[in-house]
Structure 1
Amino acid sequence: MIAWDEEIIRAVARRRSVIVVGSGVSKNSTNAAGRRPASWEEFLRKASDSLENPPVLEALIRQRDFLTACEIIKRRLTPDAFGALVQAEYQQPGYQKADIHEHIYNLDSSIVASPNFDVIYDTYASSVSNGSLVIKDHTSPDIIRYISGGETRLLLKTHGTANTPTQLIFTRKDYAEARTKYVLFYEILKSLVLTHTFLFLGCGVDDPDIRLLFEDVQFAHGRMPLHYMTIPENEVDPEVLAVASESMRIKFLSYSTDNGHAELTSSLSELVQRVDLLRTQIGSDQKW
């Protein structure tokens, strides 16, 4: 089981956290046929197959240069065909929520962010909240209205959604354009990094958005809250983790990959219980 720090428990309990839901969380879901949503690499390999696996794509995917590989795929397929491929993978199959999505919702964080294109958590959280969940993406001009907490629960789709495939941030060009065109969105994210504690679930250490954002804030300001990321044990070299921890001020919490990463789900269930207990105590002591 993950040994949760008191600091992350307090941050979630006081709703001073941002829960980031990555593709590893979506991997817990299946549709009626037992299909699971593809990871970034799996999606690119499927797309490459449809193009008869050009050597340049094979080389880029092997080197994990996913942004450039995706850029080439989108150019060769045309934007419309690429958008249809995204929807066929992440929206149309009808993936069902898993237990892990319930635990994330029950943490009752004021802000949940997700780079995932699928709508698994979106659909579940909207349903259980009776439609009161506010969903915004990088193109939304009014996000700042919803980040102050209170009664509003906000889901930030940081890379867009398969529902609007023309607005996705998926290629090298998309990343570059978004950081210029949607400056306010990234400034809001930077302010959250400085004022909230981030908990990354099912995310990768090498995610380009995470690295750039957190390294920018760390080296620009020198001080920010300690953030947390769950990772499968023995997946990343300890020296790589040490470098990432120092440059991004992230503490890595490892868990066993046995039984389909079941320990992450059970650990989140325990975190929900500890957060609820602390909220009850805070309410009783009136020390909000």
Structure 2
Amino acid sequence: MVSWPDSLAREIVKERCVLFLGAGVSSTATNDNGKRTPTWGEFLQRATELVGDTKTKKQILRLLKDGKMLVALQAIRDNCNATEYRTLLDSTFNDNSYKPSKVHKIIYDLDARIVITTNFDKIYERYCLAPAGGAAAYKVLNYNAQDFADELRSDTRLIIKAHGSIDQVSEMIFTRSQYHAAKRDHPHFYEVLRAVLLTNTVLFLGSGLEDPDMMLLLEDVRIAGRHEKPHYALTLKGTKNRFLIKDWKDTYNIDVLEYGPTYGNLEGELQTLLEKVSQLRVELNPGLRSAV
């Protein structure tokens, strides 16, 4: 069972915590048949099948086995039919039959003012923007939004799509070349995002911490000064090497909070955090009602 730090709950209540949602959050959504959204592994396998040349396909599979995801995705995109590739993206990330899960609702109820996600799908923002979500005002901003800094200074709750959205396939950051192009063409986004990470605690949910942009920014923030307050990453127990966990702490100031023994325990652990946050909100603001 996760021992949620009191300081993290306080950061959430005081709106000094940014939630970072990875693919693991989207994978909790199911359709009417009980089918879950495809994992990254499943998507990559399907994408590789679009490559017709057998030798090239074997080389891509080797890249995937070695963990070279960005290079593999670039190779897939360069060596498959563009129309088939776009169709796969749509079928994977633009399927409205997947319904938000209890995990999405809990994340909503945590009520962080800023949520950053590298997910291309729209499952979480659909929940936030629908009547089922609530009355709070939300805006969805892609990394290429021109008024990004101004929106951060507003009272609106923000969902920041750090890699873009399936709504704009041509602007999705998926491959190594797209990463480089985004950093070249939209430096203001990364400058402002760095400031957000410098002044807030980040809680990573459903993220493998493999996003190069985010990790470089966290490394810069770590170097910028000594920080007593860490960031946090919720991970499944036993899935992260202890040396990797130590590197995250030393390099990025990230404390790992392990849950388990299965992915099914994620909902219960987040519910415990929500109860802790809701209780603290009531203690600090007696006029408020608990969200749980």
TM-score by length of 2: 0.91
Of 175, 179, 188, the residue aligned with 2:179 is 175
- Distance in 1 of aligned mates of 2:39 and 2:183: 24
- 1:267 matched to 2:265? The reply is no
- 1:75 matched to 2:78? The reply is yes
Q: Secondary structure at the match of 1:163?
A: helix
- 1:121 matched to 2:124? The reply is yes
- Distance in 2 of aligned mates of 1:282 and 1:148: 24
- Distance in 2 of aligned mates of 1:222 and 1:149: 29
Which residue in 1 is equivalent to 2:102? 99
Which residue in 2 is equivalent to 1:33? 33
Which residue in 1 is equivalent to 2:137? 132
Shift of residue 215, structure 1, vs aligned partner: 1.2
Which deviates more from structure 2 when the two are superposed, residues 263-272 or residues 246-255? Answer: 263-272
**Identity of counterpart residues, as a percentage?**
29
- Distance in 2 of aligned mates of 1:130 and 1:88: 31
Q: Deviations over 1:226-285 (max 9, x none)?
A: 100000001011111101211000000000043xx2222111112112112211222249
Equivalent residues in 2 for 1:1-288 (5 A)?
1-52=1-52, 54-92=57-95, 94-127=97-130, 128-129=133-134, 132-148=137-153, 150=155, 152-223=156-227, 225-258=229-262, 261-284=263-286
- Distance in 1 of aligned mates of 2:7 and 2:223: 23
Change (3 A) 1:138 1:14: same
Shift of residue 80, structure 1, vs aligned partner: 4.4
Residues 90 and 162 in structure 1, CA contact (< 8 A), matched pair in contact too: yes
Shift of residue 180, structure 1, vs aligned partner: 1.2
- Distance in 1 of aligned mates of 2:147 and 2:141: 9
Which one-letter code corresponds to 1:38 in the other structure?
P
Which residue in 1 is equivalent to 2:290? none
- Distance in 1 of aligned mates of 2:212 and 2:41: 14
Q: Secondary structure at the match of 1:96?
A: coil
Shift of residue 15, structure 1, vs aligned partner: 0.8
CA RMSD for the aligned pairs? 1.9
Q: Secondary structure at the match of 2:275?
A: helix
Residues 50 and 81 in structure 2, CA contact (< 8 A), matched pair in contact too: no
- Distance in 2 of aligned mates of 1:79 and 1:216: 36
Which one-letter code corresponds to 1:139 in the other structure?
N
- Distance in 1 of aligned mates of 2:151 and 2:276: 26
- Distance in 1 of aligned mates of 2:225 and 2:214: 17
TM-score by length of 1: 0.92
